[in-house]
Amino acid sequence: DTGTLAHDLPGYLREQGREKSDCSLRPFPVSFAQLGWDHWIIAPHRYNPRYCKGACPRLLRYDYHAPNHAVVQSFVHQLVDANVPRPSCVPYRYSPISVLMIERDGGILYKEYENMIAESCTCR
Amino acid sequence: NQSPLSPGSLPAVPPLPLLQALQVQAPGSRGWQAEPASGQPLRYMLNLYRHAADREGRPRHGRSLGTNTVRLVLASSHGDQSWAGRWYMQPLTYRLEGQPKAEHLLRATVVYLPNLPLARGRLLCALELAATGEAPGVLLSPATRPRHGWAEADVTPYLALGNGSVGSLALRHICVRAGRVGGHNAPVAPSHPFLLLYLNDTQAGLAPPAAEPHRHRR
């Protein structure tokens, strides 16, 4: 199998293409009221942390930023032992958001929190 | 109706700043005082926020405040407002104890309205560092040109946070009514100046303050 795959990799990748169910970044806008934080968070009004969901394809293409370990794990799952799970679809890059909130003593606080919005996904 | 996170429900390991903020800040936690800032201080911070971040809260490139934390401190005590003819003087005290150790002061300014139009004439105001036993009062000149009518006077040299040497800042807010004097009742007192602390919060989980070279430091 491995030989065939390696021999016909370009064709295999074309055939693979990106399935809809593949690991990808998806939106989920949420309000701080839904999180129960609206009493003390003044801004932003909208917050979309986004999330990663989907199956990691059997052959991990370069655009998944997958480390070699994930490629090996994917082969192990397919060719050696299916109990070893496929790599998981998780965020790869994040970006910060700024938050304006009310403090306990009535003051107002501006803070920048990093890693609050997922910007891309990877298979790990 | 989410019950605020009770401290017991969080892991024993030092929580991430956001969780820590939730644990400490969420209403219903200990020490929550009812009256949050409103009116002009709130409007000022909303303008500062909109300048620094977009509608989804993403920091705007090139518009960084130069740090990851800005705290607005209201005067904790305003002595009795006293008018003497055209003159108005009010002592103000800003309490600074209990600042988190991870927050290092970069800059501190007091924001006030230097020139307030009245129904008749206008109110011209200035700030003075209150005299103490050791030092005379110091008139504070605005560090920046008034923006939207607000002036910022730099008081960084008078606050040495971090080693805890300054627990409070005492100022005097002095105004004079210029122009024809209106009726006999004293005009509305100007809004209280407020203190802005520009801090670098060194805890993990806080965005580094404009650390990336491509972000312009103001």
pLDDT, one tens digit per residue, over B32-68 is 554 666 788 999 999 999 999 999 999 998 777 888 9
Q: Is the peptide bond before A44 cis (omega within 30 degrees of 0)?
A: yes
Instruction: Please report the pLDDT score of residue B214 as a whole number.
Output: 44
Confidence of residue B213 (pLDDT cuts 50, 70, 90): very low
Q: How far is CA B141 from the centre of its chain?
A: 17
What's the N-to-C CA distance of chain B in angstroms? 42
Alpha-carbon separation of residue B182 from B89, B110, B162 (angstroms)? 19, 30, 47
For residue B88, pLDDT over 50 is answered with yes
For residue B218, pLDDT over 90 is answered with no
d(CA A76, CA A84): 7
Instruction: Identify residue B198 by its one-letter amino acid code.
Output: Y
Is any Cβ of chain A less than 8 angstroms from the Cβ of B22? yes
pLDDT (average), residues B133-148: 75
Which residue among B27, B37, B52 sits closest to A106, beta carbon to beta carbon? B37
Is any Cβ of chain B less than 8 angstroms from the Cβ of A44? yes
d(CA B86, CA B125): 12
**pLDDT tens-place string over residues A68-116:** 999 999 999 999 999 999 999 999 999 999 999 998 888 899 999 999 9
Is any Cβ of chain A less than 8 angstroms from the Cβ of B126? no
Cβ-defined contact of A44 to B206 (cutoff 8 Å): no
Per-residue tokens: A62 = 């370069």
Residue-wise burial string across A62-92, b where 16 or more C-beta atoms lie within 10 A, e elsewhere: eebebeeebeebbbebbeeeeeeebbebebb
For residue B212, pLDDT over 50 is answered with no
